[in-house]
Structure 1
Amino acid sequence: MSQVFADLKEAATDQYVNGELPEWLATPVLAVAGNPEKYGEKEYLVEILLEQVKDFDVYAEAGCCKWAYDHEDIARTLRWLEGEGV
């Protein structure tokens, strides 16, 4: 298993337990992290998802500049992983 999947599991768990990642996002992210056989050929998207989860902020769109990732970014990457909207 690639390290990116373990890192994604760790980041998603941390953001869910200690951060503000909602359960409705944490659940599919953890499903990706736990399924490297299905998503191994899309590891580049898993790497993007990892960065988005690590830098997740509920208020990413607030203010004049976007400096973090929000739920829409993560949801979009999850759709790409499922082959939707690519």
Structure 2
Amino acid sequence: MLWHRGAVNTVSFSSDNETIATASVDGTARRWWTDADRLWTEMREVVSGCLPPEFRERYLGESPAAAERAYRDGEQVRGRPRPGW
């Protein structure tokens, strides 16, 4: 899981269901927003890459064309268009 170096061993929702707290065996704790837009914004700030097409095919089961499209879209979101696009 991102932001934890060890396995997550505890997960708890806040009483208003707006956040989730996780704790890891590495001693770290993290608060996550359940609002999808806020979570995507936060992830974009810390994630610097996109899963390459060959990994998308292998691990996500995407077709070659879908994997290439998803990779291209992800890289464009990060402002890094690939040469030749």
State if a TM-score over 0.5 links the two structures.
no
Larger Rg over CA atoms: 2
TM-score where L is the length of structure 2: 0.29
Structure number with higher relative contact order (C-alpha < 8 Å, ≥ 6 residues apart): 1
More helix by share: 1
Q: Quick check: which one's strand share is greater?
A: 2
Q: Normalising by structure 1, what TM-score?
A: 0.28
